[in-house]
Structure 1
Amino acid sequence: MEDDNDVTITGVTDMEALIHIPDDKPLMQLFKRLIGNDTKQNTVLTNAQILDILKKELNTDVVYIHDLELEIYLNIIKKFLKDWPQWDDFDKSVSSLKSKGDIDAIKKLLDVKYNNFRDYLKAKLDVAQPLIKNVVKKATAKKKEADDDKMNVLMEVSCTRSQLNKIFFRRPNPQQRNTIFNFIDGPTKIVLDNISIEALINWFHIKVEVNLPSFVYRFGMTHKLKHVLLNKKINETAVAPTVLNQHLQRSTNRKNASLLKLEDIQYILKEILASIPHDYHNGQLIRATLAYIETHLVRNHKSGGLYLTYYRKYMNKYAYVRYLYADVPSDSNFNNINKYDLQLQEMIYPSYYYEIGKFVKSEIISKLFIYTNWIKFECLLCNKVFLGPDMTEKLKQHILDYHFDQPDWQCTNCKSIYSMLYLAENKWEHKC
């Protein structure tokens, strides 16, 4: 070994043109170069070539592992490339067969030694891998302690929800002047998936408003989000689960808010439902929405009373997390591979709110269809309102076009992974 970056192996005569080796077998390519080295010059392997051996021959992709772990892997391969006990036997056998001009025998020898060498390296890595993980874990913990007193750097970024999902490259992109920001919009996708009525109501940041002369009611998803940009080469700390307070929270701003009876609200909801014609526009969505309202009111106000005010509640016991990034096309920049794995950690604390803005029991609803746009949906991410006869289809198409292709979420407690569609259809709840 000449220095920290190179490993050196001595080889023996030139027969490269007589032996064909596939590109996906870099160890076999190494043997071929050694066979063809008549001048006994040194065959030097660079770090990039060793990475190629790790990936293609040993099924170890080191692109996004910790930099200390990568350094250990490189040193292990360098050591055992040099110290393989069969090098002398290989050299003598090749010299003997070359003197006889027996190309077929050389090819057979090459196959045997290649398999022996690959198995030898695999065995060494199998022993080393758990030890490497332990060393990296301890080193990361020490570095975290040392960094705790350092000032955090905050950055404010203005972007759309779809842009946020892939706003950072995992490492500097050499095709875009080594920037970590992904400013190029992706291709338009044709989404063939369908979405249920339940998912529409519970989708990410959807607000619903019922506005009638006798009853005004608003509810929606108000998920709290937290973002931290991590370099996973150095930030290996797992997300600790935080138990969310699932008790109903009531606003105290309206000190003189009227106390209402749950049965009176249920009466109004039944009146609205009974007033909807069978062939009413958006009938399926509206009926599901009214059922949703009643379900939450009954669950949260079992005692029978509620105030004319604002309520809020977390929907799941634990937060969810996911990591957002854009992959960089493969490149040979070893320094980038060794230093960066940028991922935007997004934590979500799913919650919903509802508010009774007006309630007059005495006003009976007999002809609901005479009121125009009495119910509307709004996407808070896009500030887009959906109402009128085609409200259901436009809302569904908007979500499919702009918000459906979302990375999955992982529970911070049980580590189970769920799609956005699954969570929306199940009111963002699951049992660990």
Structure 2
Amino acid sequence: MNSVNETALKETTNDSRNKSTKNSKLDPKQSTEDPLKEYFNSIANSETLRLNFQSLISVLSSSLRIDLTNVSRPMKNVLAESLCYFIKNWSGWKEYKNLVLKDECFSKFKDYLRAKLTYIVENEGEFCKRSNKPKPTMVAAETQTDLPPKNNKPEAPFSLTISGPPHFLNNMVFVEINNNFLLKQHSEKPWKLAPSTTFFLNHPYVKISINLPKILFSRSNIHDYKSYLTDDGDMASCLKTDFISEVVKTSNVTPKVFSFNFISAYFEQLISIMAKYNVKNCLLIQSIMNEYLRDIKDCNINGCTMASPFMVTFNIGKNVYVRNKKTVACASKSKNKNVIHFCQILTPKVAFSLEEFNVAESGSTNTFMDLNSMDKLLKMGSKLYLQVLNNCVTFSCTLCNKVYQGEHCYFECMDHFRIVHKGEQEVVCFKCRNKFDVPNLASTRWYHNCQT
């Protein structure tokens, strides 16, 4: 049973948005049935469900029979948002495969929602106390524009969310027409090729994995982006960033820990065998393994060790960058200038994993048993093993999930970025305020000599 789609529950607490929201066939006003039952069946059938503030309040009062007579408008907003959250995160979605028309299941679902929301109503004072806490100058959870107004300026009668792949910043421009700001797109910067393989291996949105009979590991650039609109430039305080974001066990297999020297020795013997039998992309595989070893060394976990099956995510380069685009507009009847900045904070991050590493050293020599067997099979002319080695590398684009494998995977993936995603805008170091080109930073593993 699929959980509720992220975009399927969209609650709108602004009056102007309520007027413009077009309810689907699930509008409670258009049905004599319990609207919550209709929502329940729609989610069970993996249908898209769109809700507005009015429909959520109707569910609270008519379906869950929660008395809203003395509930304030801000608290109603809290209840509406909470209802969406609890619908999405109900544990029962994982326990039942066929939920449609199962009265027992629906009854549990309804009791769960009523208990959760009744608790919130009964403890309104506590929730209001939390909501009255001062807002931070910038919310880091997602792309947003809810920065507090300055000089007691009236708030706009709408809310604005900028979404989409982070590379959109490269072709976004603000234009003023008839005292209104319009967001437009212009042609992207050309994507410049760099001679260094390190550049592409550390390019944003690139994922690489190597899959061989005894080993499976991957390395993914998952840079963190925080975007916001402001009239105060990009001088907001840099968010605190942990060097190692997380260490996660990826499966229930019994963990095995390997030293840097052990993994390095295995890679070295593997590359020598590949070079001996002219395996395609041998130099590329060597570069990937070198980057992977540098990841282990940079993180330096328990004296440069790596365990399987684990994934480590860290801030490669140990720096945080920012980039922005701004527009200056002069009102037609005034000389006052309005400056709007679309800023983006970029924290370079890499997640590298060791899913499988079932290797053992040979007792008599400083070699590995599986690689010695591989060498013998290749010497005997094993075309199957040679084919496995030639196709062990996979490149992926994390923006659009395109996958490339085989002899030309590196160049095919590079062409994909050159043609589809274009170039990246320059970034500025948050500390030293120096400007850097993304290809240059990627070529140095996002490191620069930062002199604050």
1:242 Cα deviation after fit: 4.1
Which residue does the alignment assign to 2:387?
370
CA contact (8 A) 1:195 1:396 kept: no
What is the number of equivalent residue pairs in this alignment?
A: 279
Which residue does the alignment assign to 1:314?
315
TM-score w.r.t. the length of structure 2 is: 0.53
Identify if the C-alpha distance between structure 1 residues 214 and 173 changes in structure 2 by more than 3 Å, giving closer, same or farther.
Answer: farther
Task: Provide the rounded CA distance (Å) in 2 between the counterparts of 1:248 and 1:181.
Answer: 34
SS in 1 for 2:171: coil
SS in 2 for 1:291: helix
Task: Provide the rounded CA distance (Å) in 2 between the counterparts of 1:333 and 1:144.
Answer: 19
1:291 Cα deviation after fit: 1.3
1:267 aligns with 2:240: no
SS in 2 for 1:268: helix
Map 1:339-418; keep pairs closer than 5 Å: 339-362=337-360, 363-364=370-371, 365-366=374-375, 367=378, 369-371=386-388, 373-418=391-436
1:248 Cα deviation after fit: 6.9
Which residue does the alignment assign to 1:250?
247
CA contact (8 A) 1:223 1:351 kept: yes
Task: Provide the rounded CA distance (Å) in 1 between the counterparts of 2:224 and 2:293.
Answer: 24
SS in 1 for 2:440: helix
Identify if the C-alpha distance between structure 1 residues 311 and 194 changes in structure 2 by more than 3 Å, giving closer, same or farther.
Answer: closer
CA contact (8 A) 1:269 1:290 kept: yes
Larger Rg: 1
Question: Residue 235 of structure 2 is aligned with which of 216, 233, 238?
Answer: 238
Which residue does the alignment assign to 1:421?
439
Unaligned runs of 5+ in 2: 1-147, 361-369, 379-384
Task: Provide the rounded CA distance (Å) in 2 between the counterparts of 1:150 and 1:179.
Answer: 16
Which residue does the alignment assign to 1:86?
none
Task: Provide the rounded CA distance (Å) in 2 between the counterparts of 1:314 and 1:190.
Answer: 27
Deviations 1:308-365 (A, max 9, x none): 111111123331000036x79xx99635984533331000111111111111104334
Question: Residue 171 of structure 2 is aligned with which of 166, 169, 174?
Answer: 166
Map 1:20-419; keep pairs closer than 5 Å: 144=150, 155-169=160-174, 171-173=175-177, 178-183=180-185, 186=187, 193-230=193-230, 232=231, 235-236=232-233, 238-247=235-244, 249-251=246-248, 257-262=254-259, 263-277=261-275, 279-299=278-298, 300-301=300-301, 303=303, 305-308=305-308, 309-324=310-325, 334=332, 338-362=336-360, 363-364=370-371, 365-366=374-375, 367=378, 369-371=386-388, 373-419=391-437
Identify if the C-alpha distance between structure 1 residues 281 and 252 changes in structure 2 by more than 3 Å, giving closer, same or farther.
Answer: closer
Task: Provide the rounded CA distance (Å) in 2 between the counterparts of 1:360 and 1:237.
Answer: 48
CA contact (8 A) 2:323 2:343 kept: yes
Task: Provide the rounded CA distance (Å) in 2 between the counterparts of 1:277 and 1:379.
Answer: 28
Deviations 1:22-52 (A, max 9, x none): xxxxxxxxxxxxxxxxxxxxxxxxxxxxxxx
1:168 Cα deviation after fit: 4.1
Map 1:11-22; keep pairs closer than 5 Å: none
CA contact (8 A) 2:296 2:305 kept: no
Identify if the C-alpha distance between structure 1 residues 144 and 295 changes in structure 2 by more than 3 Å, giving closer, same or farther.
Answer: same
Task: Provide the rounded CA distance (Å) in 2 between the counterparts of 1:337 and 1:275.
Answer: 72
1:192 Cα deviation after fit: 6.0
1:166 Cα deviation after fit: 2.8
Q: Which amino acid aligns with 1:399?
A: F
Identify if the C-alpha distance between structure 1 residues 292 and 253 changes in structure 2 by more than 3 Å, giving closer, same or farther.
Answer: closer
Identity of aligned residues (%): 17
Q: Which amino acid aligns with 1:250?
A: V
TM-score w.r.t. the length of structure 1 is: 0.56
Deviations 1:393-431 (A, max 9, x none): 222323333445221100111101100011100111112
1:297 Cα deviation after fit: 2.1
1:378 Cα deviation after fit: 0.8
Task: Provide the rounded CA distance (Å) in 2 between the counterparts of 1:203 and 1:347.
Answer: 17
Task: Provide the rounded CA distance (Å) in 2 between the counterparts of 1:180 and 1:336.
Answer: 20
Q: Which amino acid aligns with 1:312?
A: T
Moved more, 368-377 or 287-296: 368-377
Task: Provide the rounded CA distance (Å) in 2 between the counterparts of 1:152 and 1:425.
Answer: 46
Task: Provide the rounded CA distance (Å) in 2 between the counterparts of 1:429 and 1:239.
Answer: 22
Identify if the C-alpha distance between structure 1 residues 236 and 207 changes in structure 2 by more than 3 Å, giving closer, same or farther.
Answer: closer
Q: Which has the higher contact order (CA 8 A, sep 6+)?
A: 1
Identify if the C-alpha distance between structure 1 residues 403 and 253 changes in structure 2 by more than 3 Å, giving closer, same or farther.
Answer: closer
1:296 Cα deviation after fit: 2.1
Which residue does the alignment assign to 1:115?
none
CA contact (8 A) 2:234 2:322 kept: no
SS in 2 for 1:345: strand
Which residue does the alignment assign to 2:105?
none
